[in-house]
Structure 1
Amino acid sequence: MTADATDTADLTDAGLIPAPLTYTPGTGAGPTLGPGAAFDAAPGTEGTARWLRAVLGLDTDGDGLPVRLALDSALAGGPEAYRLTVTADGVLIVGGGPAGVFWGAQTLRQLAGPDAYRRAPLTGRAWHLPAVTVEDAPRFAWRGFMLDVSRHFLPKDGVLRQLDLLAAHKLNVLHFHLTDDQGWRIEIPRHPELTATGAWRPRSRYGHRDSPLWDERPHGGYYTQDDLREIVAYAAERHITVVPEIELPGHSQAAITAYPWLGNPGYGAPGVWTDWGISPHVLAPTDEVLRFYEEVLSDVLEIFPSPFIHIGGDECPKDQWRTSPAAQERIAREGLGDEDGLQAWFIRHFDRWLADRGRRLIGWDEILEGGTLAGGDSGGGLSAGAAVSSWRGWAGGIAAAEAGHDVVMCPEQHVYLDHRQADGPDEPMPVGWVRTLRDVYAFEPVPPALAGRDAARHVIGTQANLWTELIDDQGRADYQTWPRLCALAEVAWSAAGRRSWPDFERRMTHAHYARLDALGVAYRPPGGPHPWQRRPMPAGLSGQLGRPLDGQPG
């Protein structure tokens, strides 16, 4: 039985999110899984066995229902594919690799019911499972969520919680936005002022950048290197890759405040930015600045094993470079032509620096500007391994894919989760365009211009982005993220021909909202916000509805 729009009754009953490739009910009554289940975990699956024992409260081995975890590299669909078989005789999860076994275990947890998502099993609770076979594999290799912790800091425990939520939806990339104008969040011992000074701001604008109101509380925080190692290890146990982002050469005001010589002469120490928008303070194009960021990135590489390192590269104003003798001398000496060429010079330098160390640069689609697409490895352009996060629409992603570069599609018009979810005054401090749950579900990562062409293979995936200028606590982050990230998870995982909005809506209502409730997620209800989720829009902002928030990609 296929999980398509024409035959979905059994899948709706199961309420699986994201929809699998096939869902085939078995015969007879389903089994009951309880304490004392007998685990048989093949080598390479032990981590999933530990996780499954913990979340289902199966603390002791016994002679109960057997749960077998196995690997089969020949399984169709690759290392993230799985086959889950539940019969009266037991449970068998076979994965194309360890990740596939883990995703199969996530599906088993969904089949166990909403209470399987509580922090501890309820007294005497056993898990009544349907007899079923599920065969499944993801559509895209990159299924991501970008979390901005620079505008508003999220303590480590909140990040670990986000990783659990991503894993529950078979999302496998956390794009971790660690530095920006409003705060530097990663400890670099060789340069202690980055966190001693750059991680803290005296106040924050309350609302959109045109708001007349201020939150006068100081704000800040950062992650120690051991905090980040813990986050990376926790993610790895859940088969999630953490892709760190260190912004350059723009969005660097916090770093310049910590070490003013990183900026252009004559502009001093600007202070960690308290406002939103696009800061004019950008890095100076000097050898000393390059060496500084090489040292920063050396620490980043030691902490984060991700093949990709994100360097930002977006929204870099050129005014300070136009008046800087050092910048103009660099443009002339390197034959860069103009300030756009100078930005491309920054990007190319770190592209090659990362490639020399076996890593791949990824950046926002502005990294394509200034001639970076020309020449490839043999000329003056980006290396073949460089990739693009296409946020300003389709054009950058299409150009990159056509030039042979991998692309993560995340256009602001579709998957920016800080944008409001409905018209009307009840949405808390709204900004941007209306992007409903259905809008996100309708998003197609492969644009029509690439469909059916060889270049489409360079669309390696998609992600949703959460920028946090207006998101100052976990509850507000939950509200903006969920359930829209459930929709993005299905877009990223499920085959395009298997997606059905009416069926998705039924599965959410039938089962998945109850799972989110059990997880304690303060999501936006389908009928609109709870009274306690509303937040009045500051005076003077009524004319700002429908316009994006500057000072971020989007």
Structure 2
Amino acid sequence: MRYLTVFLVLSFCINTWAQNRFNPNELKLEWKIIRQNTNSKKETLVNFTVVNGSKIDFPLKGWTVFFNAGDVYDNIKGGPISVRHINGDLFALVPNGTLKVIPAGKSVEISIVSRAAKNITDFPKGFYWAWDDQNSSAIPLKVKMETVVDVNEEERKLADEIYTQNRAIVGTSKDQLMPVFPTPVHFTKGIGFFYLDKTVRIVADKQLNNEKKYLIKEISKVLKNVPEKDVDGRKTIELRLDPSIADDAYQLQVNTAKITITSGANTGVFYGIQSLKSLMPLAAWSKKGETLNIASINITDEPRFGHRAFMMDVARNFQPKKTVLKTLDLMAMYKLNKFHFHITDDEGWRLEIPGLPELTAVGAYRGHALNEQKEILPAYGSGPSRNNKTGSGYYSRADFVEILKYATANHIEVITEIETPGHARAAIKAMDARYQYYKNRGEQQNATAYLLRDTADRSIYRSVQGFNDNVINVALPSTYRFLTKITDELIAMYKEAHAPLNTIHFGGDEVPAGVWEKSPAVRAVLNSNSTVSSVDEMWYYYFNKINLMLKERGLYLSGWEEIGLRKTLVNGKKTMIVDPRFASENFHVDVWNNQFPNEDLAYRMANAGYKVVLSNVSNLYLDLAYNTSYFEPGQYWGGYVDVDKPFNFIPFDYLREKRQSETSTAARVYEKLTEAGKNNIVGMQAPLWSEIIKNQDQFEYLLLPKLFGLIERAWAKDPAWAGPIDSLTYKQAYQKDWSNFINVLAKKELPRLDYYNGGYNYRIPTVGLKNENGLLMANIRFAGFDIRYTTDGSEPSIKSKIYTHPLVADGNYAFRAFNRLGRGGRTIFSIPKITK
């Protein structure tokens, strides 16, 4: 496996510098990982080298180099340049006065300890230079990223594991594949085909006019000529309502003369249309024809859960409206019905709010403005310019209304998240800028009207993401004035869009210890309010007020699991436990934490009475890397998630494998889900956080094909292998179902996504590779994808040889998988390329 060398190259111009000022473009900067697993595998040793490539001395004063990274600690051997933490993931390299200059042609090297670097996601990003006396000017820098850590053995083992996993997948012929996806409750195949062409008459009950228009639009994607008005054809497609059928259920009947879709409501008919699309031949999506055949079939179907959600984070890194709409199309096609829209966080506020222009004028932009009166700090490598398209951006009010209308037309409910009281730095800084503006004008009342922090608060804390100022002060009346304003503006937008609004998500996660402890405003509440006796109880105080505010408007509160938890002393240590006080308030909680010691938290909350949306990190967080490869992008703090993790997730018994793997002496007692608790599991959700996502392709790479596992589990009933896992029968049943699932993706769904809606950039898996008795064996997870190879170690292209049989393992081979369109995955090497 090759050693990684990544170049972060950003173009820049420095035409305005005086000739006697040093040109930072003439520096050569290198960040090199020297050793992993420093200090008991928790840290990584890095060398940062500065080479003065100019003809004049490089001054070691008067400048700062900024960059974004995970935890970076400090120099361990001293040196003329020190590391300083600014806030969040923003760090600085600053001269410390121990050396005056770096002579022309010379270099200095400093050793730094950072958090453990397990894959390329851990490389720092967004390096830029700023003169201390010209903070308004900043220059992006190019930095050479390199590692001399040997990861080849781990890569070989992983390639071997992938090969073994792929070999266990059994092929399935197309006529044996599940006819629609996700798996329907019941179906029976008929005889013959319905031939769809321009003579087909499409009729619908009056209430189904929108669904009829949608069907005609979708048919227009596969037929050259579509009847836009009723015609007197012998063949018909009928859309009907039947009150005896549940609203989300549907019946789809296809015979040689008629297609009928029946449901108790528009939603079920819409789902029936999606299944009808799934029955259309794959070739139809790549090229329009005069006619196409649909096999006769009868399907009776309904979803398992009423809440089938995908969460899209556009706060950390922004995505344009067109990507949001394209994502809604994907959700609609696979019958997902809740779009959790994470539009605010520490690193960005992404929605225009009338009357509070600072939220987007300041909070929606990131750049080099350390006083943060015009934009907030760079994050996740967004760099110094506020024009960066991923760090900066927002949706206008009109954009948001359009998104709401589009989602509603696709029978998707948008659940907007306004992250509070933590993860709120963008809002806090925007309201600080507003405060300063009106204060300078002498308008004190206007200045404090929407202020989100106690200016006299001296509390000290640090969030998981490294911020010391990202938590709203929940004692201030202005906080509730702000949140009421946001709520009422959201209600107005939903009303204009004629979109359903039942809830607003107010976050609630990851508020660090130490907040509010030295806030005079909080102390005043504690002294005057008998319902709260400690700073920890301000949590109950806050969400009780938000709950009442929402209830007055006919809404219920959604949030992360913490909204239903409270801190208490357990064995002398503060611990979060289920709070019974909100259990009957219809709180909907997205429970993400199934990490030790909270593996059973979702079940405990459901048993207590909370409405639970299963969002388990170890199975459903799509931003986690696909596997352990050093070269695979993605987070890993919650494990690794490939398409199998959501697929093998059993909602009502997700702890069964953990119980089975633990010995009787070490086994922990997990709370089992009661029958009442089962009724409180309202659904499932797959979140995709965007810290490392810089464009639509990266977004879709992490989204697909992982999302298919969530789609199947949220819609279909438990599979046959959901019972005891210690039997051969279980293993056989699982492997058969897994093989069928993979074959459906490989032969139906992914080929369709090559063309549908302009195509989706799903991840093409890496090739499995194994050396067996001197023969190099290669395979691929998805049947129908080509494996191409080279014999000189170069990157295979679509013109390279196709792998058809084992190769004698004496060459410098490189293998790469390609889909039907010729798009390739990541290359695997039989002999690693070593560069030191």
Q: Which TM-score tier does this pair reach, normalised by the shorter chain? A: 0.7 to 0.9
* Cα separation, 1, equivalents of 2:457 and 2:682: 41
Deviates more, 1:59-68 or 1:346-355: 59-68
Deviations 1:359-393 (A, max 9, x none): 110110111223796564xxxx4652211110112
Indicate the residue corresponding to 1:350 in structure 2. 546
Q: 2:516: which partner in 1? A: 321
1:296-323 per-position Cα deviation (integer Å, ceiling 9, x unaligned): 1111122233212100011112434112
Distance 1:385 1:332 in 2: 30
1:513 to partner: Cα distance: 1.2
Mapping 1:388-537, distance limit 5 Å: 388-393=589-594, 394-428=599-633, 430-432=635-637, 433-447=639-653, 449-451=671-673, 453-497=675-719, 500-519=737-756, 520-527=759-766
- Residue 329 of structure 1 deviates from its aligned partner by 2.1
1:233: which partner in 2?
A: 405
Structure 1 pair 439/429, CA: closer, same or farther in 2 (3 Å)? closer
Residue 384 (structure 1) aligns with: 585
Q: Deviations over 1:32-88 (max 9, x none)?
A: 11223201111222111111111111343323420000011212xx21101101000
Residue identity matched to 2:549: W
Q: Per the alignment, do residues 266 and 534 of structure 1 end up closer, same or farther by CA in structure 2, a change over 3 Å counting? A: farther
* Counterparts in 2 of 1:262 and 1:138: CA distance versus 1, 3 Å: same
- Which has the larger share of helix? 1
Deviation at 1:115, TM superposition (A): 4.5
Cα contact 1:111–1:130 (8 A) shared by 2? yes
1:30 aligns with 193
| Matches of 1:160 and 1:214, distance apart in 2 | 24
Number of the residue aligned with 1:544: none
2:193–2:295 CA contact under 8 A, matched in 1:
yes
Counterparts of 2:472 and 2:628, CA distance in 1: 39
Give runs of aligned pairs for residues 221-300 of structure 1, distance below 5 A.
Answer: 221-260=393-432, 261-266=451-456, 276-277=465-466, 280-284=469-473, 285-300=475-490
SS at 1:440 equivalent: helix
3-state SS in 1 of match to 2:339:
strand
Are 1:126 and 2:291 counterparts?
A: yes
Contact 1:198–1:255 (Cα < 8 Å) also in 2: yes
Contact residue 351 and residue 396 of structure 2 kept, 8 A: yes
Q: Take 1:158 and 1:367, find their aligned partners in 2: how far apart are those partners?
A: 30
* Residue aligning to 2:218: 55
Which residue of 2 is the match for residue 301 of structure 1? 491
1:392-424 deviations in Å (ceiling 9; x for gaps): 125442232122221101011110000000121
1:374–1:512 distance in 2 versus 1, CA, 3 Å: closer
Pair 375,241 (structure 1): closer, same or farther in 2 beyond 3 Å? same
Report SS of the residue matched to 2:546.
Answer: helix
* Aligned AA (1:391): W
Alpha-carbon displacement from aligned partner over 1:246-291 (angstroms, at most 9, x marks no partner): 01111111011111231232579xxxx9x95555421122111111
Secondary structure of 1:162 counterpart: helix
Is this contact kept in 2: 1:481–1:523, CA < 8 A? yes
Residues 160-192 of structure 1 deviation map (CA, whole Å, 9 limit, x = unaligned): 110000011110010000111100011111111
148, 168, 185: which one pairs with 2:313? 148
* Partner AA of 2:492 in structure 1: E
TM value normalised by structure 1 = 0.86
* C-alpha distance 311-116 of structure 1, shift in aligned 2 (>3 A): farther
SS at match of 1:310: strand
Instruction: Give the letter for the 1:392 counterpart.
Output: N
Range that drifts further, 46-55 or 158-167: 46-55
Q: Which AA in structure 1 matches 2:193?
A: G
Query: SS of the counterpart of 1:130?
Result: strand
Contact conserved, 2:239 with 2:269, CA < 8 A, in 1?
A: yes
Aligned partners of 1:430, 1:366: CA distance in 2, in Å?
22
Return the alpha-carbon distance in structure 2 between the equivalents of residues 533 and 300 of structure 1. 42
The alpha-carbon deviation at position 95 of structure 1 amounts to 1.2
Check whether the contact 2:420–2:508 (CA below 8 A) recurs between aligned residues.
Answer: yes
In structure 2, the residue corresponding to 1:298 is in which secondary structure? helix
Shift of 1:472: 1.3
- Distance in 2 (CA, whole Å) between partners of 1:68 and 1:283 is 54
- Which residue identity does 2:527 align to in structure 1? A
Per the alignment, residue 539 of structure 1 pairs with: none
Amino acid at match of 2:397: Q
- The 8 Å contact of residues 148 and 466 in structure 1, kept in 2 or not, is answered as yes
Whole-angstrom distance in 1 between the partners of 2:674 and 2:322 = 43
- CA separation of 1:246 and 1:199: change in aligned 2, threshold 3 A: same
Which residue pairs with 1:161 in the alignment? 326
Distance 2:409 2:283 in 1: 22
- Report the Cα distance in structure 1 between the residues aligned to 2:710 and 2:380, rounded to whole angstroms: 35
**2:315 partner SS:** coil
> Which residue does the alignment assign to 1:549?
none
Higher relative contact order (CA 8 A, sep 6+): 1
Contact 2:308 2:336 survives alignment (8 Å): yes
With 506-515 and 428-437 compared, the bigger mean Cα shift is at 428-437
Q: How far 1:338 moved relative to its partner?
A: 2.5
Give the distance between the partners of 2:217 and 2:513, measured in 1 at CA: 53
Where do 1:354-373 residues align within 5 Å? Answer: 354-370=550-566
Q: Tell me the CA shift for residue 476 of structure 1.
A: 0.5
Gaps of 5+ in 2: 1-171, 221-225, 370-378, 433-450, 495-499, 568-576, 656-670, 722-736, 768-816, 828-836
Q: Match of 2:504, as an amino acid?
A: I
The alpha-carbon deviation at position 490 of structure 1 amounts to 0.5
1:88 corresponds to 2:256:
yes
Larger Cα Rg: Structure 1 or Structure 2?
Answer: 2
| Aligned residue pairs, count | 509
Shift of 1:516: 1.4
Distance of 1:203 and 1:480 partners within structure 2: 29
Partner of 1:545: none
**Correspondence for 2:344:** 179
Letter in 1 for 2:252: L
- Which stretches in structure 1 are left out of the alignment for 5+ residues? 1-7, 205-210, 536-554
Name the CA distance, whole Å, in 2 between partners of 1:356 and 1:382. 19
Whether 2:211 is the aligned partner of 1:43: answer no
Matching residue of 1:542: none
1:155–1:354 Cα change, 3 Å: same
CA-to-aligned-CA distance 1:420-454 (integer Å, 9 cap, x gap): 00121331355442112111101122246454622
Change (3 A) 1:32 1:222: same
TM-score (norm 2): 0.58
Q: Is the strand fraction higher in 1 or 2?
A: 2
Identity of aligned residues (%): 31
Supply the AA of the counterpart residue of 1:128.
Answer: N
Cα offsets for 1:123-180 (capped at 9, x unmatched): 4342210011111000000000000010111111111110000011110010000111
